[in-house]
Amino acid sequence: MAVFWILATSMTFVALAIVLVPLLRARPRAAPSRHDANLEILRSQRREIEADVERGLLPAEERDEALAELVGRAQDDLVPDAAAPAAPPRKPWIAAGIAAVAIPAIVFGVYLAFGNPAASDPRMIAASVAAAAAPSSADDAKIVSMVENLARKVRERPDDVQGWALLGRSMAALGRFREAADAYEHLMRLTPGDAQVMADYADVLGMVQGRTLAGRPTELALQALKIEPKNKKALALLGTAAVDRGDYAVAIDYWQQLAGELERGSDDYAQVQSILAEIRGRAGPMAKAAPRAPAAVAQAPAAGAAAKSITGSVSLAFGVSGHVTGSETLFIFARSEGGPRIPLAVLRTSARQLPMQFTLDDSLGMAPGVNLSAAEAVRIEARVSKSGNAMPQPGDLVGSSAVVKPGARDLKIVIDKVLK
């Protein structure tokens, strides 16, 4: 920072010199003296006399008389005026003083008003370099920080219904289902009888239980459906729970009810019809199809997951294999290219499985309605986590694929970088 101000001051002094030196430099008087002016007049008159003689306007015999008269006048007019001392040139000291004060004041004033003085602070420079060099995980850290800040605020406002609802959705989107369940449990006490809150609570409880809706989640979904018979999430949850326990006839009934609430021809309607076809295939010839007239969606499970799953392999580059002991956690996840940073699907396993084959599909989604099969383009990333934390940490090993579409097969991902 000191170097910057030294350079700025030096440049200001140079600018002052450019202005003040010419301003204060002594200049000779530009006006001729009286003696020089009279001498020039007499010379001019002599030339006129010579010219008149040549043109015949003045007789030659009168030339000498005219010159003698001119010489007589010269004795009076050519008196030297050196006796009168010449006034020394006046230097503009006042203007120079104003310039010496005004120029630095204007320069530094404009910089302080419109510039960025803090940019020359080494700490700010270091922070800027670090920010520029930081990986994209900075976005994830920012999202997590915002959600944790929200959690602190709503705990201070236990009656804030909207705040607790937002916290539940945010925690679910981050895959922190236990905290999401706690938020929805508190929200249920604030909004007794709210069918949507019950359905959301059932959904995250199922994730907390290891992706099973048996028990309390099913009970909550049934309560929600009694309060609101057309609640889409409750219908989807109950249909999924019925499939999980092998009760295909009940599952078909719930999914047909959901299809009746969706708009025919929409993507969600097509997804539900695909799910129904799959269930009927499992149930065999005893299953009956009776689809209803559809309407709009929301948060039905992803359909065509098998068709839009992504498969591939993950391996370690030779240069980083020595950093892995096998006790670390391996994360393989898909992110929407150009979309939200929240992973669309996450597979968590042990690093001792490397090299390994993987499959990512909608069953590995982190939040309802956030589906791999619905994405336009995704990038698959693999990370060996030393801490087991889902958030990237220095020392983790990473690798990624090119941008692909859901349904891509046989991707090859090489983990070859160490996060700093």
Q: Tokens 């929409």 sit at which residue?
A: 266
| Sequence-ordered alpha helix ranges (H) in 174-247 | 177-190, 195-208, 216-227, 232-244
CA-to-CA distance for 188 and 196, rounded, in angstroms?
10
Nearest to 257 by CA among 281, 292, 308: 292
Tokens describing residue 237: 């949850």
The architecture that CATH gives domain 137-286 is: Alpha Horseshoe (1.25)
Confidence tier at 312 by pLDDT (50, 70, 90): very high
Sheet containing strand 411-415, edge to edge, reads 356-360, 310-316, 411-415
Q: Distance (Å, rounded) from C-alpha 10 to C-alpha 4?
A: 10
For the chain, percent of residues with pLDDT exceeding 90:
15
Whose structure tokens read 């990473």? 398
pLDDT digits over 135-150, tens only?
445 556 777 778 788 8
Q: Full-prediction pTM beyond 0.75?
A: no
Beta strands at 411-415 and 310-316: parallel, antiparallel or unpaired: parallel
Confidence band (pLDDT; 50, 70, 90) for 383?
Answer: very high
Specify the amino acid at residue 398: V
pLDDT at 19 over 70: no
Please report the sign of the dihedral spanned by the C-alpha atoms of residue 391, residue 392, residue 395, residue 401.
positive
Q: pLDDT, tens digit, for every residue of 165-208?
A: 888 888 887 788 888 889 899 988 888 888 899 999 999 988 88
Tokens (6 digits) for 104: 């630095």
Give yes or no for a cis peptide into 355 (omega within 30° of 0).
yes
> Residues 58, 59, 61, 62: is their CA dihedral positive or negative?
negative
Q: If you ran DSSP here, which 8-state letter would residue 325 be given?
A: -
Tens digits of per-residue pLDDT, 98-117? 666 666 666 656 665 555 55
Helix (H) or strand (E) holding 270: helix 267-283
Structure tokens at 66: 């005219």
Is residue 303 within 8 Å of 373, Cβ to Cβ?
Answer: yes
Distance CA 220, CA 125 (A): 54
